[in-house]
């Protein structure tokens, strides 16, 4: 069993008891087995000794809402309202996506994510076998789900549900447990109620969680009320969605009553500040959700509405916008934004041993290069992570005890080939 020790490191742990440790961390197999000021054994006892001087170590970032393949649509149809952007730009192009497009679009995004310090992500898309294979190869962690849109004839609905179920069954727990799966009605406004109920039943049968878009725009909330006489939260409650562990993306337009319902069922919310701002969807009530006890994590959404997958930016946006909008400089402090992007993210995906640097946790961690002007002086490192760092400060990435990025280079994927294939796919979609 290989044992690695990092010495002379600064560790931001996201642990309340010891939030910052200067010293050593020991990794054995897939786990952190020690973190503390002194090396627990003489350095000769280790297979690898890493000098962590000028490195800032922290848990890998957890992106709880993404559609990775949509990197192919980055910059395609910017500065439009969500519904127009979806209906006139995204959906027509996405309709052309082949399995191959999804393969290379997803691989490009995974490359961007892991080089930028994201070690776990949620993906909701189509051609999910391609996504799962890419995750397996990359070495990162993925919580994956075939998102189904039910605005189609019954036989197409049946086929999609069958595909989603097969995917979820086949891939759950694969890649040494790095892949988990969920069931996903795309959104209340894209799935008829009876179809949502069938998806919930499938999730029950497989004992899997549910992921869905919910209450992203005011227009969608009003349409839900008009069509079903209920706002989205009560609508989904009535359809039994929340009887399963559930992660909803966005949750921008919520009443106090809706927040209470989400809290009652322990529904998790993926807050996507960059995407919500860019599409002018609005500003989620993050502080009220947190105050009610709802777990709020962070997601990038796709790079078509962001337009990158830099989780440092999502932390920063979460820490900044709620201050500016509420007028409260204490809103979402740096420490809380960091927690949302790490430990709370992992908890939101029901991963009990990810998201902290602590003995017993999975060895999912990243290192930032501290020897840079914008990360000096060496003072409040949590502040530096949230308010000053970016994806490009990440230099080393370890997931499940394996290095997947070292010295800024990805060790598991062929970056040059991915970029080349991705560009060919993009040209194909345009042609």
Residues of span 29-58 touching a copy of itself by CB under 8 A: none
Q: Find the part of the chain contacting a copy of itself (CB under 8 A) among 60-68, 132-140, 189-197, 385-393.
A: 385-393
Q: Find the part of the chain contacting a copy of itself (CB under 8 A) among 80-88, 91-99, 133-141, 230-238.
A: 80-88
| Residue 82 sits in the site that holds a copy of itself (CB under 8 A) | yes
Beta-ladder partners of 185: 148
The C-alpha R_g of the chain, in whole angstroms, comes to 21
β-strand 268-271 against 296-298: which pairing, if any?
parallel
Burial class, 157, CB count within 10 angstroms (exposed 0-12 / middle 13-18 / buried 19+):
buried
Token pair of 355 as six digits: 């998201």
Please count the CA atoms within 13 angstroms of the CA of 291 that sit on its side-chain side.
Answer: 8
Residues constituting the chain? 431
Minimum distance between the CB of residue 418 and a copy of itself, rounded to whole angstroms? 8
Rounded CA-CA distance 113/132 in Å is 15
Q: Is 250 annotated as a binding residue?
A: no
Q: Is 65 annotated as a binding residue?
A: yes
End-to-end CA distance of the chain: give it in Å, rounded.
Answer: 52
Q: Is 416 annotated as a binding residue?
A: no
| Residue 119 sits in the site that holds a copy of itself (CB under 8 A) | no
| Residue 75 sits in the site that holds a copy of itself (CB under 8 A) | yes
Task: Report the residue number, 45 or 280, with the smaller CB distance to a copy of itself.
Answer: 280
Q: Which of 63, 303, 342, 356 binds a copy of itself (CB under 8 A)?
A: 303
Q: Which of 317, 343, 363, 395 binds a copy of itself (CB under 8 A)?
A: 317
Task: Report the residue number, 16 or 176, with the smaller CB distance to a copy of itself.
Answer: 16
Query: 57 by DSSP, 3-state: which?
Result: strand
Number of residues lying near a copy of itself (CB under 8 A): 73
Query: 202 by DSSP, 3-state: which?
Result: helix
CA angle, residues 390, 179, 102, in degrees to nearest 5: 70
Helix or strand holding residue 274 (H, E): helix 273-278
Contact present, 338 and 12 (Cβ < 8 Å) = yes
Residues between 236 and 275 that touch a copy of itself (CB under 8 A)? 274
Q: What is the DSSP secondary-structure string of 85-122?
A: IIIIIIHHHHTT--HHHHHHHHHHHHHHHHHTTEEEEE
Rounded CA-CA distance 341/325 in Å is 21
Please count the CA atoms within 13 angstroms of the CA of 310 that sit on its side-chain side.
Answer: 17
Residues between 127 and 186 that touch a copy of itself (CB under 8 A)? none
Q: Which of 321, 338, 340, 398 binds a copy of itself (CB under 8 A)?
A: 321
Q: Is 53 annotated as a binding residue?
A: no
| Residue 378 sits in the site that holds a copy of itself (CB under 8 A) | yes
Q: Find the part of the chain contacting a copy of itself (CB under 8 A) among 14-22, 163-171, 204-212, 305-313.
A: 305-313
Q: Which of 80, 152, 223, 411 binds a copy of itself (CB under 8 A)?
A: 80
Task: Report the residue number, 246 or 290, with the smaller CB distance to a copy of itself.
Answer: 290
| Residue 101 sits in the site that holds a copy of itself (CB under 8 A) | no
Q: Which of 201, 260, 390, 411 binds a copy of itself (CB under 8 A)?
A: 390
Known binding site for Zn(2+): residues?
A: 65, 67, 213, 301
Known binding site: residues?
A: 65, 67, 94, 146, 186, 213, 216, 301
């Amino acid at each position: 069993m290989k044992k690695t020790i990092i010495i002379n490191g600064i560790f931001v742990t996201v642990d309340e008891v010891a939030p910052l440790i200067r010293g050593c961390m020991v990794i054995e197999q897939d786990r952190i087995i020690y973190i503390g000021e002194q090396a627990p054994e003489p350095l000769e006892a280790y297979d690898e000794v890493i000098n962590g001087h000028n490195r800032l170590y922290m848990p890998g970032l957890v992106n709880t809402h993404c559609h990775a393949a949509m990197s192919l649509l980055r910059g395609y149809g910017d500065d439009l309202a969500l519904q127009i952007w979806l209906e006139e730009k995204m959906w027509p192009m996405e309709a052309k996506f082949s399995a191959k497009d999804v393969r290379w679009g997803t691989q490009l995004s995974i490359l961007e994510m892991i080089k930028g310090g994201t070690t776990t992500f949620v993906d909701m898309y189509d051609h999910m076998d391609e996504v799962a294979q890419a995750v397996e190869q990359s070495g990162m962690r993925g919580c994956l789900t075939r998102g189904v849109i039910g605005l189609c004839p019954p036989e197409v609905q049946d086929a999609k549900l069958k595909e989603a179920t097969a995917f979820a069954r086949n891939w759950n727990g694969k890649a040494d447990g790095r892949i988990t799966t969920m069931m996903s009605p795309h959104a209340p406004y894209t799935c008829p109620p009876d179809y949502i109920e069938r998806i919930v039943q499938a999730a029950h049968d497989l004992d899997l969680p549910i992921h869905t878009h919910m209450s992203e725009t005011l227009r969608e909330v009003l349409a839900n009320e008009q069509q079903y006489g209920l706002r989205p939260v009560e609508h989904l409650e009535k359809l039994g969605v929340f009887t399963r562990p559930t992660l909803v993306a966005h949750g921008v337009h919520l009443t106090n009553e809706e927040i209470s319902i989400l809290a009652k069922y322990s529904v998790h919310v993926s807050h996507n500040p960059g995407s919500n701002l860019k599409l002018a969807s609005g500003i989620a009530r993050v502080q009220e959700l947190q105050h009610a006890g709802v777990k709020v994590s962070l997601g990038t959404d796709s790079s078509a509405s962001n337009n990158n997958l830099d989780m440092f930016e999502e932390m920063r946006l979460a820490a900044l916008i709620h201050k500016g909008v509420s007028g409260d400089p204490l809103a979402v402090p740096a420490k809380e934004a960091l927690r949302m992007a790490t430990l709370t993210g992992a908890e939101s995906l029901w991963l009990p041993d990810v998201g902290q640097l602590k003995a017993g946790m999975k060895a999912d961690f990243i290192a930032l290069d501290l020897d840079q002007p914008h990360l000096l002086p060496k003072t409040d490192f949590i502040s530096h992570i949230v308010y000053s760092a970016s994806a490009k400060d990440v230099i080393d990435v370890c997931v499940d005890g394996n290095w997947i990025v070292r010295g800024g280079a990805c060790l598991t994927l062929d970056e040059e080939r991915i970029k080349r294939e991705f560009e060919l796919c993009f040209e194909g979609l345009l042609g």
